[in-house]
Structure 1
């Protein structure tokens, strides 16, 4: 069986072994960007503002 690991993967594995607290920091920082509560009123406005997509250029007559 082939067990290749890139230099980047080896670096990250060694970094996590040296500083295990990084995993918790990574998760808390992820929450800042991706796990946010959506405002239903804003979402409704975004849906209402959508513009119909034009057909593919070559299919126009």
Structure 2
């Protein structure tokens, strides 16, 4: 099998990032906006307290 295959899209992105190294830095900055956030423990506890219990069988009428 040929394990070193890269799609055209992957090749394009790799070449683009080589030519524009500032974009790699910007990607990391943007990642921090969505994924690397600290969760507020008080807010998380409120979310847990607001959850409703699930029914054993969701399709059974009440």
TM tier relative to shorter chain: 0.7 to 0.9
Runs of 4+ in structure 1 over 3 Å off: none
The within-5 A match list for 1:12-23 is: 12-23=13-24
CA root-mean-square deviation: 1.8
Structure 1 residues without counterparts, runs of 5 or longer:
none
- TM-score w.r.t. length of structure 1: 0.78
Matched residues, number: 59
Q: Which runs of 5 or more structure 2 residues have no equivalent in the other structure?
A: none
When the two structures are superposed, what TM-score results if normalisation uses the length of structure 2? Answer: 0.77
